[in-house]
């Protein structure tokens, strides 16, 4: 996802977060609290730019840190154990809403609360992950915005076949610590006019992922799935 795409989605995300804040305002509370859980390291420049855009979007809606808003920010730096600990820590603070980025973050938050509103971005398959009942009516306490639609999988295959027409099989790389991206493997990748055999390749460690990605089978294309 490009920075521009993320910021565009972020604007809608902030709007979605505004309703629990506004509801609490009507109850007479002065300072609202938002939890933010990031899967990245605090010195990650891209994540910092997203956070700056998040704060700016809140400001346009009248929510200013230190005035009527407090942001509880946590960084897990890719550590799964730390992520679970921080998710519990944020939920225990009872914020008005929580914003999270990536599937592992939302999974950790979902295990901790079924009442605090959670808004996400950069989740590959919210339905397959159990975060939403369906896209039109998510239900429960979790909603958000997807960067990709599984229906685009077929288009990806068409483009790959145009680039490498001799391709005869497809491998989908994914992180099993998040969710098996079944929806990206089923009908979209099995188009009648592009019957490419596909298989799932679970990769847990980046060095291993790099080595496999750099040495693909001949006439094969590998697709890395996002978290």
SS3 66: coil
From CA 169, how far away is CA 20, in angstroms rounded? Answer: 47
Q: What is the DSSP letter of 70?
A: E
Region at 122 (left for phi over 0; alpha for psi -120 to 50; beta for the rest): left
Residue 141 has a pLDDT of 93
Query: pLDDT above 90 covers what percent of the chain?
Result: 33
From CA 150, how far away is CA 17, in angstroms rounded? Answer: 25
From CA 120, how far away is CA 34, in angstroms rounded? Answer: 13
Q: Are 169 and 217 in contact (CB under 8 A)?
A: yes
**Tens-place pLDDT, residues 97-129:** 999 998 899 999 999 999 999 999 888 788 878
pTM for the full predicted model:
0.69
Least confidently predicted of 65-79, 88-102, 196-210: 196-210
Token pair for 75: 């960084």
**Tens-place pLDDT, residues 157-186:** 778 888 888 877 777 777 776 655 555 555
């Amino acid at each position: 996802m490009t920075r521009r795409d993320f910021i565009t989605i972020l604007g809608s995300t902030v709007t979605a977060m505004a309703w629990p804040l506004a509801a609490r305002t009507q109850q007479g509370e002065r300072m609202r609290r938002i939890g933010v859980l990031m899967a990245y390291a605090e010195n990650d420049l891209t994540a910092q730019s997203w956070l700056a855009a998040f704060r700016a979007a809140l400001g346009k809606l009248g929510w200013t840190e230190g005035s009527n808003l407090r942001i509880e920010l946590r960084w897990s730096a890719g550590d799964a154990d730390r992520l679970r600990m921080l998710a519990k820590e944020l939920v225990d603070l009872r914020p008005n809403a929580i914003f999270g980025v990536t599937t592992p973050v939302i999974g950790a938050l979902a295990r901790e609360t079924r009442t605090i509103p959670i808004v996400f971005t950069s989740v590959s398959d919210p339905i397959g992950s159990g975060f939403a009942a369906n896209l039109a009516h998510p239900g429960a306490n979790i909603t958000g915005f997807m960067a990709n639609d599984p229906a685009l999988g077929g288009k990806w295959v068409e483009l790959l076949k145009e680039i490498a027409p001799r391709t005869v099989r497809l491998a989908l790389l994914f992180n099993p610590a998040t969710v098996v991206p079944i929806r990206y493997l089923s009908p979209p990748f099995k188009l009648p006019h592009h019957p490419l055999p596909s298989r799932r390749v679970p990769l847990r460690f980046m060095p291993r992922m790099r080595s496999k990605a750099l040495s693909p089978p001949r006439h094969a294309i590998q697709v890395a799935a996002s978290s």
